[in-house]
Structure 1
Amino acid sequence: MRKMTVLLSLLALTIGQQAIARPHHSAASTAAENCYDSADAGEIRLWDGPAPGAAGDDACQDIPYLRVFPAANGDPAAPAMLLLAGGGYDHLTNKKEQTPVAEYFSRRLNITTFVLYYRLVRPDGTYRYPVPMWDGQRALKLIRHRARELHVDPKRIGVFGFSAGGHLATTLALHPDDDFGLPVHDAVDGSSGKVDTLGLGYPVISMDPAVYGTSNTRKNLLKDYRGAQLHQLEQRLSGQDNVSPHTPPVFLFVSMDDQRIDPQNSVIFGDALKAAGIRADIHLFPHGAHGVGLATDMPEEQAWPELFRLWLTRQHFIN
């Protein structure tokens, strides 16, 4: 299948007292562990005390946090991007989907980028739904709540997610007013959870096994849910069933020979966006691979970062 570009018309905490002090984050330090370091001024925990639903205080498992990559041009009100790596909700694929992409966004696109280390589902079901949604929405609201301090524009906050991170990103974008049953609230939670632009790389979209089979993403996120409750969550968390006129503009890329996640997830989401009249730039590459991040070694998929830059420029998200 040849590459297709679909352009669709528009319808219409408190946090730790860490300053954003340095832009440098080496790939080695990022890949080492997904562990919060209170001594790192470039990391911000989402809640000062224990996060809602925390099972402990392990810095590598129980403390969700952001790693910050400031915009290269030092703009006092730069656009912001929340970056969500994939990994099936039980691990994070940090080698290609975190630091390399964050550095591209911050250095090439002048976007202050926040890599989210959300809590991961354990074998016993700890941190299953809705915990990742709590962490994702808290991150969005925290960025907007502290926009002036973080030197970002509160009206230009996007989310970009890969694979399972794409599912989380889509869920946040489609349900900005749903707190997913968060048991405690503070001043940060009063901020808007609106997503101003949504970027997706080879995303998981559907949670309904009747649509495109089962996946580890669904099994982990919805572990031990049964019956009517499970069915309700499958529908609520399937992006193609929840597009509305208020859905933000979407950029999406996928390879049609993806062997990990059925690319029809992306096709059905594109169809739903078109039916709702949402602006979208959908790139279905004939060949590629899953988990490639910037896809620097993929002859076709490696075009997506530049296509994304052009898309953001057309949306006036970046200059």
Structure 2
Amino acid sequence: MRCKAFVVVTLLLISVVAGTASARHGDRAAADGQSDGSGSCFDASDATEIRLWPGAAPGAAGDDPCRDIPYLKMYAPNGVRDKSRPAIVIIPGGGYDRLSDAKEQAPVAEYFASHLHVVAFVLYYRLVQHDGLYRYPVPMWDGRRALNLIGRNARALGVDGNRIGLFGFSAGGHLASTLALHPDSDFDLPIHDAVDAAHATPAFLGLGYPVISMLPSEYASPSSLKHLLYGYDGGTLQQLEYNLSGQHHVTRHMPPVFLFESEDDQRISPENSIVFAAALDANRVPAEVHLFKHGVHGSGLSEGVPDEDQWPRLFQAWLERIGFIGQVPVRG
């Protein structure tokens, strides 16, 4: 049977609706408007782009700006770093081997900066290559480093180091949730410096139509699973599939969560969101979960998408209620 739509608008998740996943869900590739990341190349001359490591990143196979250099792109309100503001790190999706189209990148960052008055950063993490280069745990190294880099340089960036949130879409939601679920892990990063000592942790976790599970028996996205865990097999693969399935690792120490998904998601099973919501509820994690009747996977701000286009307004109201941002004027 189909799962029922539900909206939770209190800070504690009240109920979770069970349902059966469709067998047709999985990440799509370039035919669905995604890119292979070739348009997301680090530009050293752009002051808004911040390289995560000053030299070669751990595990880097070269110095190709379109493949080997993970970085953040910064969007400050009105382009000005004028005071200590909250920050949100946006992690786009794409199945770990490509980045979703620009709907999850600049438009979201610009909206957050202009409407929420936060400093927004888009994380361009390394993507898994055809030979398995940059498979797990490399994306996790890049995500952890991004948080620590912002925390370490908060004053210079005009950021309040105690108010750094994460918002991930699709496979980027898997990366974001993994960072939030394992705040004390460096994922066996082989080298460390003063930035890594910052140990910044997210103040909240935001998720849009996320991948949560890596277990084939529990709604894993075949594409994200295949790419992130390329080349792993046997007991090692089974252990990683479990360790990287967020629904099994929620604790009461999680930061508050905002999550939206649609009942008719055609790429990722909405059961990912439902089982994660159930785990949040079981552990009494403050959360607001919206499962809309209709939505479009990969739509970012969901402009022009009935039902799902409500999420940015709901997200802003939620951030105000949890005290992450002050009340700001509602804009169209």
TM-score (norm 2): 0.88
Preserved contact between residue 205 and residue 265 of structure 1 (Cα < 8 Å): yes
The answer for the alignment partner of 2:150 in structure 1 is 143
CA distance in 2, matches of 1:78, 1:203: 27
Query: Alignment partner for residue 190 of structure 1, among 193, 197, 200?
Result: 197
The answer for the alignment partner of 2:31 in structure 1 is none
- 1:258 to partner: Cα distance: 0.2
Residue 225 of structure 2 corresponds to residue 218 of structure 1:
yes
Preserved contact between residue 198 and residue 248 of structure 1 (Cα < 8 Å): yes
Preserved contact between residue 71 and residue 78 of structure 1 (Cα < 8 Å): no
The answer for the alignment partner of 1:71 in structure 2 is 77
Q: What are the ranges of 5 or more consecutive residues in structure 1 without an aligned counterpart?
A: 11-30
The answer for the alignment partner of 2:273 in structure 1 is 266
- 1:165 to partner: Cα distance: 0.2
Q: Secondary structure at the match of 1:194?
A: coil
- 1:221 to partner: Cα distance: 0.2
The answer for the alignment partner of 1:7 in structure 2 is 10
1:93-142 superposed Cα distances (whole Å, 9 cap, x missing partner): 13200000000000000110110110000010000000000000000000
CA distance in 1, matches of 2:219, 2:159: 38
After TM superposition, list the pairs within 5 Å mapping 1:163-182 onto structure 2: 163-182=170-189
Residue 329 of structure 2 corresponds to residue 313 of structure 1:
no
The answer for the alignment partner of 1:162 in structure 2 is 169
Query: Alignment partner for residue 59 of structure 1, among 45, 65, 68?
Result: 65
Preserved contact between residue 221 and residue 269 of structure 2 (Cα < 8 Å): no
CA distance in 2, matches of 1:32, 1:239: 30
- 1:38 to partner: Cα distance: 0.5
Preserved contact between residue 12 and residue 288 of structure 2 (Cα < 8 Å): no
Residue 43 of structure 2 corresponds to residue 40 of structure 1:
no
Residue 101 of structure 2 corresponds to residue 82 of structure 1:
no
Q: Secondary structure at the match of 2:176?
A: helix
Q: Secondary structure at the match of 1:67?
A: strand
CA distance in 2, matches of 1:280, 1:7: 8
Residue 211 of structure 2 corresponds to residue 204 of structure 1:
yes
Tell me the number of residue pairs that the alignment of Structure 1 and Structure 2 aligns.
299
The answer for the alignment partner of 2:253 in structure 1 is 246
CA distance in 2, matches of 1:173, 1:119: 19
Partner letter of residue 240 of structure 1? Q
CA distance in 2, matches of 1:134, 1:213: 22
CA distance in 2, matches of 1:140, 1:212: 28
CA distance in 2, matches of 1:161, 1:209: 21
CA distance in 2, matches of 1:106, 1:215: 34
Query: Alignment partner for residue 119 of structure 1, among 100, 120, 126?
Result: 126
- Percent of aligned pairs sharing the same letter: 58
CA distance in 1, matches of 2:169, 2:299: 9
Q: What are the ranges of 5 or more consecutive residues in structure 2 without an aligned counterpart?
A: 14-36, 327-332
Give the root-mean-square deviation of aligned CA atoms: 1.4
- 1:297 to partner: Cα distance: 1.2
- 1:3 to partner: Cα distance: 3.7
1:125-171 superposed Cα distances (whole Å, 9 cap, x missing partner): 00000000000000000000000000100110000000000000000
Partner letter of residue 37 of structure 1? D
CA distance in 1, matches of 2:5, 2:138: 39
- 1:47 to partner: Cα distance: 0.4
Partner letter of residue 52 of structure 1? P
Q: Secondary structure at the match of 2:77?
A: coil
Preserved contact between residue 177 and residue 193 of structure 1 (Cα < 8 Å): no
Partner letter of residue 232 of structure 1? Q
- 1:74 to partner: Cα distance: 5.0
- 1:242 to partner: Cα distance: 0.6
